[in-house]
Amino acid sequence: MTGTSETRQAGGRDRDTEGRARNARPRDGLGRPLPYGADGVERQPEGVVRGPEETVAEAQALLDAGRPFHAHEVFEDAWKSGPQDERGLWRGLAQLAVGLTHAARGNATGGARLLRRGAGAIEEWASGTGRPRPYGMELAELTIWARELAAVVERDGEPVDAAVSAPRLRGRVA
């Protein structure tokens, strides 16, 4: 969403006030659509420009709450609105969040694939810029977390608990 209200149009298509297609169905904590009228979780507004520190803090709060799909939306905003030279970092973080989303939904193949893709992106970004801890994030730890979770998801084939499995973007809490 862009902050504009959404409406259900005749013919079944949801549109925002500018007429763009926008799915207005409520969603659960993992971003799955629920029936119209069901109680869902509050959705992340799309297109919000945040500073990097706010992005990391908001995404971490969502990950901690077991809402990686919503954290992905926060990272996606940073990827689309941030400086060109940081887009690979934010895109990689968004892929990690989507990978965790798929793993929590029970999609082992998609979850593992996206976790590894995101790990490769942030690893490449960190080594390519010489900034291994942008905005205080522990990219080496995130890379290890993602690859280990991918292996577990593939081995077990069972959904993971998104909150329990969530990464610490700024490293382990002492």
Domains of the chain: 1-43 (no CATH), 52-165 (1.10.3450.10)
Q: Other C-beta atoms within 10 Å of 1: how many?
A: 16
pLDDT digits (tens, 9 = 90+) for 136-174: 899 999 999 999 999 999 999 999 999 999 999 998 753
What is the maximal distance between C-alpha atoms in the chain?
54
- Write the CB contacts of 10 (distance below 8 Å, at least 6 apart in sequence): none
What is the C-alpha separation between 172 and 174, in angstroms, rounded?
6
pLDDT digits (tens, 9 = 90+) for 60-72: 999 999 999 999 9
- Write the CB contacts of 142 (distance below 8 Å, at least 6 apart in sequence): 93, 96, 119, 122, 167, 169
**Predicted local confidence at residue 1, as pLDDT:** 36
Name the least confident of 18-32, 74-88, 133-147, 156-170. Answer: 18-32
Is 122 in contact with 93 (CB distance < 8 Å)? yes
Query: How confident is the model over 98-123, as a mean pLDDT?
Result: 96
Residue 74 predicted with pLDDT over 50? yes
Q: Confidence class of residue 2 from pLDDT cuts 50, 70 and 90? A: very low
- Rg for the chain (alpha carbons), in Å? 17
Burial class (CB in 10 A: 0-12, 13-18, 19+), 15: middle
